[in-house]
Amino acid sequence: MVGTRERKKARTHGGGHLSVAADARYVEGASLQSRALGLGLRHTVRPVLDLWTRLPFDLFPPNLLEHAARLLPVHEGTSWRTVDLARCGSELLSAKGVRDIHGGNPRVILYFHGGAFLTCGLNTHRRLVSRISHASAQPVLNVGYRQMPYEPIAESVADGVDGFRWLLDQGYRPEDVTIAGDSAGGYLAFSVARAVLDQGLGRPAGVVALSPLLDVDASRKRQHRNADRCQTFPLRALEKFTDVALRMDTRRGINGQRVCPVNMPLEDMPPALIQIGSREILLADAEHMAARLVQAGVPVDLQVWDRQVHVFQAAASWVPEARAAIEEIGEFVSGLAGQESGAGDSLTTATATVGAATPRTGVAAV
């Protein structure tokens, strides 16, 4: 398995995943599959995004990816049912053999898909979510939150809080809910964790963020060594995103009120796992967030995966590093249970060096 030596070393250092580290864990090795994926994205997705930024007008095409993704298979035996939250749809998904709270499993994951708050949804991410459910042995509430250009990011956060409340209504305890997401969903994972704390709903078990966007401001990314190395995003795309997000806030009269994860209070946040590719432009956000968490005394495991692309975990069907990363996610999430029994003693110290359910059901057969 790629990066085996590094991963074994990390598990035996300072309490393994649930320890505070000032430095990132670098997971070495890039398979032929992952390198081919990176090359493909650099010559397809990146040029398209660059072209989008150069248009003299705003263009937000229909979410075709989400519709096409209905055809994608998921883990064999995966089941899901639709959950209607107050202002958006979602689905409660379980991998084969994974029970929910009614079957005696008290732990659950609240998940937010990526897509720059502009695209993707439940269909595009069902396959990834099913793998995370399998690796962690926990069901997942996958939230289809409202997005731009119709709603600002603040409304996406509100939908995430509704998802957390729904889980509490089902009987889950706050400390048994891990909040996770990829890309823009990583922004939501941290923001929703902050929001439920501020609203007195309890402290989640932990946060998992995959290639997270954590700062709408592109300034730090502009100065980073990866500003022009990312296989997926040109810098101009991040700058365009910043402009769109700020205009949405202004239109709704909330400009300046939204606080990005890198700027929010962190002292009472739960432990976090952040996974990022070594050449991603969003590494700037991940590094800064990890440093701030350590300074706040919050345990964080920042994993930097050698030459992996943005949200490489979604390619787990043929990229070995993606499968290894999802295994790491499963181990981290499962390990959070030890906090309550006292197994998470290393979590208490840190260095400062750095809606109602509808009866519709789906079952995967492939």
Contact 82, 356 (CB under 8 A): no
| DSSP, res 27 | E
Helix or strand holding residue 142 (H, E): strand 140-144
Is 334 assigned a catalytic role?
no
Cα(244)–Cα(291) distance, integer angstroms = 28
Q: 91, 151, 175, 280: which is the annotated catalytic residue?
A: 280
Residue 249 Cα distances to 88, 123, 221, 252, 254, angstroms: 20, 27, 21, 5, 5
Strands 79-84 and 356-363, bridge-based pairing: antiparallel
Per the annotation, the verdict on 310 as an active-site residue is yes
How are beta strands 140-144 and 177-182 bridged, if at all? unpaired
User: Which entry of 134, 224, 288, 310 is annotated as an active-site residue?
Assistant: 310
The side-by-side arrangement of strands in the sheet containing 25-27 is: 25-27, 300-305, 272-277, 206-210, 177-182, 108-112, 140-144, 89-94, 79-84, 356-363
Identify whether 76 is a catalytic site residue. no
Name the catalytic one among 34, 136, 183, 191: 183
Euclidean distance between CA atoms 309 and 168, whole angstroms: 35
Indicate the burial class of 31 (C-beta count within 10 angstroms; 0-12, 13-18, 19 or more).
middle
- Quickly tell me which residue has 């989400």 as its tokens: 66
Listed residue (297, 331, 301) closest to 27, CA to CA: 301
Per the DSSP assignment, residues forming a β-bridge with 182 are 210
Q: What Rg, from alpha-carbon coordinates, does the chain have?
A: 19
Residue numbers annotated as active site = 183, 280, 310
